Amino acid sequence: MMGKASLTAFLLLLVLVISACSQLGSSDEVSSEAIKEYPNTDIRNIVPFSAGGTTDVNQRLIESFWKEHFPENMVIEYYAGAGGEVGFTELAKAKPDGYTMGSINTPHIILQPLGRPTQFEYDSFNVLARLVHDPQVLAVKADSKIQNLDQFIESVKDKPGSLSVGLTGTLTGDHLTTLKFMDAADVEVTMVPLAGSSDQVKELLGGHIDAIMGNVGDVTKDIDQFKVLAIATDERHEWLPDVPTFKEQDIDLVAAIDRGLALPKGTPKEIEEKLFKSLEEITSLPEYKKKMKEAGLVEGFMPGDEWTEIISEQKNEAEKILKKYDQIKK
């Protein structure tokens, strides 16, 4: 039987353990007062790609209207590298207090945890909203000897790997679309991972790669510099009406990169709703829509809960093609 002294010591230890656990459990919690006063300092916005790319341009547009909705500044911080993984990790690990948000891109956040060890999973975020729905294109330089998709395919059928295609990193949308293209066309290209879309364009126009698997927004800003061989949509796109789809050319390929904003998982709902309301208002402004088109960004606003459902569906589809090309982490 336990003595009085032992019992007292045991109860004291139990109180200390419970207190410690309580403190650990509440370390990331945001007080009701902090939620009420939100925001009372600058909010950082993590851009996981290089400056000047399409993700950055989109966030700069959001920033230009930010002060009309919040008294505090939005401060953009760049965490480029590994196809966005560096920035996605920074966002996932940030304190969920509403003072860090960041861009997420799909299928990037789906592919990377599937293909390599990461410090985040596809569902490590509170998704605020989708902002851009950017179809993928295969493009070469305007003065390329390759005139159309048939010639591109013939070249790599005759000599597998003879043409290089620039991508924004590995386990990204460009990477997945290129794998899908190789599968559908039964060809092999040499994939060249790069830091961001601006780097893709620079390398292509500099003659260092043969083609890019990029986005509508990457080529329409200065279309005269490119020859777009195909677009991965069901029907021709209004921004590139003269460009045939992959499907028209007997390649069953539909793909797009979606971009939006998210918060670290666990951010209070009240803060999330306040940020979403402002994003919804900003993206509905005629001036915002005009600037989006001028910047070559294909608008695709969608509430976070709807986008989250689509992301879950995309995960199942992506696993199949990654398995086929032995891209799933062991």
Cα-to-chain-centroid distance, residue 202: 21
Q: What are the structural domains, with CATH classification, of the chain?
A: 33-133+258-324 (3.40.190.150), 134-256 (3.40.190.10)
The secondary structure element, H or E, covering residue 122 is none
Q: What share of the chain is helix, strand, coil (3-state, %, to 5)?
A: 45, 20, 35
| pLDDT value at residue 22 | 38
| pLDDT value at residue 217 | 83
| pLDDT value at residue 3 | 57
| pLDDT value at residue 141 | 97
Q: Tens of pLDDT along the chain (330 residues)?
A: 455 555 555 544 444 444 444 333 333 577 888 898 899 999 999 999 888 888 899 999 999 999 999 999 999 999 998 889 999 999 999 999 999 999 999 999 999 999 999 999 999 999 999 999 999 999 999 999 999 999 999 999 999 999 999 998 889 899 999 999 999 999 999 999 998 888 999 999 999 999 999 999 889 888 999 999 999 999 999 999 999 999 999 999 999 999 999 999 999 999 999 999 999 999 999 999 999 988 889 999 999 999 999 999 999 999 999 999 999 985
Dihedral sign (CA 133, 126, 270, 59): negative
| pLDDT value at residue 168 | 86
Compute the distance between CA of residue 78 and CA of residue 51 in angstroms, rounded to an integer.
7
The secondary structure element, H or E, covering residue 151 is helix 149-158
Compute the distance between CA of residue 6 and CA of residue 56 in angstroms, rounded to an integer.
63
Q: Which residues contact 28 (CB under 8 A, 6 or more apart)?
A: 95, 96, 97, 266
193: helix, strand or coil: strand
Q: DSSP readout, 213-250?
A: EEEHHHHHTTGGGEEEEEE-SSS--TTSTTSPBTGGGT
Q: What is the pTM of this model?
A: 0.81
Q: Quick check: 173 and 108 in contact, CB under 8 A? A: yes
